[in-house]
């Protein structure tokens, strides 16, 4: 497990990938989630992972980030919160959500005909308080 304080300002230093357009205006919660995913993508790239896809969807649900760590496919769930009033962001990922992520990983592999040596599921929690730096916590291989 890694926890790192991250400053919010450097996000502007790197151009961000285009996001899928939505017919509805973005609310505060969606903007916070998008911020957390952007921070997670930057962090994973800094750790040497290759980002393959973001916000992949199928009839079963969505994968926030699909990445490669060498020949290992990494399915990453990102949870972003403003406070820990209801527990840490990573605590919001339930056993049912992990089971769904396993099914989504299998669906992604079928759709993309990818050949990898391993598959793992990571969780990244981002705490973005109203004041002060963001904090990121990365749990590696919470389910495989």
Q: Which domains does the chain have, with CATH numbers?
A: 2-143 (3.40.1350.10)
pLDDT at 94 over 70: yes
Q: Is the pLDDT of residue 139 over 90?
A: yes
pLDDT for the residue numbered 19:
40
In whole numbers, what is the pLDDT of the chain averaged over residues?
A: 84
Task: Tell me the Ramachandran region of residue 48: left when phi exceeds 0, alpha when psi lies from -120 to 50, beta otherwise.
Answer: left
Mean pLDDT value across residues 62-86: 95
What mean pLDDT do residues 60-85 have? Answer: 95
Q: Supply the pLDDT for residue 144.
A: 60
% the chain with pLDDT above 90: 67
- Residues 114, 42: Cα–Cα separation, whole Å: 24
**CB 21, CB 55: distance < 8 Å:** no
Tell me the CA distances in angstroms from 117 to 7, 105, 125, one per residue in order.
35, 13, 26
Q: Report d(CA 142, CA 138) in Å as an integer.
A: 10
Per-residue model confidence as pLDDT tens digits over 5-62 = 444 333 333 333 334 444 445 688 888 889 999 999 999 999 999 999 999 999 999 9
Q: What's the confidence (pLDDT) of residue 28?
A: 83
pLDDT at 64: 97
Phi, psi of 128 (to 5 degrees): -120, 85
């Amino acid at each position: 497990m890694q926890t790192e304080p991250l400053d919010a300002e450097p996000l502007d230093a790197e151009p961000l990938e285009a996001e899928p357009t939505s017919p509805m205006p973005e609310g505060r919660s969606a903007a916070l989630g998008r911020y957390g995913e952007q921070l997670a993508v930057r962090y994973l790239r800094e750790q040497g992972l290759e980002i393959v896809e973001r916000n992949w969807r199928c009839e079963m649900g969505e994968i926030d980030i699909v990445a490669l760590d060498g020949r290992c496919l990494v399915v990453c769930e990102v949870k972003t919160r403003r406070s820990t009033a209801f527990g840490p962001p990573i605590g919001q990922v339930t056993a049912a959500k992990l089971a769904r992520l396993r099914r989504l990983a299998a669906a992604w592999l079928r759709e993309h005909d990818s050949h990898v040596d391993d598959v793992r599921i990571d969780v990244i929690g981002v705490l973005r308080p109203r004041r002060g730096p963001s904090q990121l916590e990365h749990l590696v291989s919470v389910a495989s």
